[in-house]
Amino acid sequence: MFEFQITAQSGRARTATFATPHGAVQTPMFMPVGTQGTVKGISPQELTEIGSQIVLANTYHLLLRPGPELVAVHGGLPGFTAYPGPFLTDSGGFQVMSLGHMRRITEEGVTFKSHLDGSSVYLSPERSVEVQQALGADIIMAFDECPPYPAERDYIQASLERTVRWLERCLTFKSRDDQALFAIVQGGIHSDLRQQSLDATLPFSTPGFAIGGLAVGEGKAEMYAAVEYTAARLPADKPRYLMGVGHPEDLVAGIALGVDMFDCVYPTRTGRFGYALTDDGRLNMNSSAPRTSLEPIDPDCDCYACRHYTRAYLAHLLRAEEMLAPRMLSLHNLRYLHRLVERAREAIRVGRYAEWALSWAARYFKGKPKTDEMSGVPAWFARSVTDDV
């Protein structure tokens, strides 16, 4: 169980098979976010059809509503949501900080007011694992604190030390053998703090490690320097998960740096707002051009929307505020990211990841600001993809 078997490498990028109780998955992979127990607007059957492999759910949200007991009597998230594959639940740490009101953090845990009804709720390492055991995901996350950006060095340091003590308590409390608990490395954008977090976290030998505390407002250059530093120092034989990331360019850069797992609300959220992901960048379906276009969003895409609809029809649905528009754009965007990692895996298998990534990026970034004049791609991207190759 939870065996991580690398099948090919290309530079620092690698492709692997990760075994979970609900089936083996191929990495690198993008995990759709089903915050409240549903990927917004998308059915489990559709997730399976577009190549989703693991669905994320949120401990914070499901604790508040409908409560872990109701999910447990359904046999956990697969029974509750009807998605038959593996799940990953985050620990609630990040959401307590970003969504909870009037939170009070102590060594013991966090008390906060629910964003739904203002009621007082308590989360601790033990309570988070208890809830995650009731939710029954295959991969559960350590209860951590994710400092905001910017934050004082001293605060980041104190916080990461507490996160390590919380990790130990999570592991002590955890009783289910069919769930893998991943530790989370913190330390912000400071290499020495990342190193300190690594030194304290790696000895726990959890079946996977996450890189936390990024994509919270720092710049791309700082973020990818931290990803590069951390990923290079995580064990090669365990999956590496970059939390809350990302956009297409983040996946391609992160994979180059050796990241295996990603999650983000971006594809569904930007879809609901009327944007479609393509190899040429993000297409604004609210603009005037798509209204008369008889082309699909992406002629190379095999999603239901691209096989059946013109841009003009989808633009009509958007203007008419029809539910089918956010549904279809979310579906397409998820499929786009799944196809992107499928192409990345193939490039790794044939040992040409950097070449593929730069070729993909040349088209994706074409005509966009902040690209380097020589390479045609942003400096942070070029550095992530080509350094070390």
177 among known catalytic residues: no
Q: Two tokens at 196?
A: 């300190």
Residue closer to a second copy, measured from CB, 194 or 327 = 327
Residues 350 and 10: their CA atoms lie apart, in Å, by: 8
Residue closer to a second copy, measured from CB, 66 or 85 = 66
**Alpha helix locations (H) across the chain?**
44-49, 59-64, 68-73, 77-81, 93-99, 125-135, 153-173, 191-201, 220-233, 248-256, 266-272, 304-308, 311-319, 324-349, 353-364, 379-386
Q: What single letter denotes the amino acid at residue 350?
A: V
Residues 385 and 389: their CA atoms lie apart, in Å, by: 8
Provide, rounded to whole angstroms, the least separation between the CB of residue 90 and a second copy: 17
263 among known catalytic residues: yes
Q: What residues form DSSP beta bridges with 209?
A: 183, 240
Residue closer to a second copy, measured from CB, 11 or 290 = 290
Provide, rounded to whole angstroms, the least separation between the CB of residue 307 and a second copy: 9
Residue closer to a second copy, measured from CB, 136 or 212 = 136
Q: Which residue has the tokens 């994320």?
A: 56
Nearest of 226, 229, 261 to residue 245 by alpha carbon: 261
User: What are the CA-CA distances from residue 38 to residues 32, 77, 81, 242, 268 (Å)?
Assistant: 10, 10, 7, 21, 11
Bridge-based pairing state of the strands 275-278 and 281-284: antiparallel
Provide, rounded to whole angstroms, the least separation between the CB of residue 57 and a second copy: 12
Q: Which residues bind a second copy (CB under 8 A)?
A: 36-38, 40-45, 61, 65-66, 70, 73-74, 80-82, 291-292, 294, 304, 308-310, 312-313, 316-317, 319-320, 322-324, 326-327
Provide, rounded to whole angstroms, the least separation between the CB of residue 135 and a second copy: 13
Residue closer to a second copy, measured from CB, 180 or 325 = 325
Provide, rounded to whole angstroms, the least separation between the CB of residue 324 and a second copy: 5
Residues 210 and 184: their CA atoms lie apart, in Å, by: 5
Give the angle 156-159-164 at the CA atoms, nearest 5°: 125
Marked catalytic residue, from 144, 260, 263, 298: 263
Q: Which residues are catalytic?
A: 90, 263
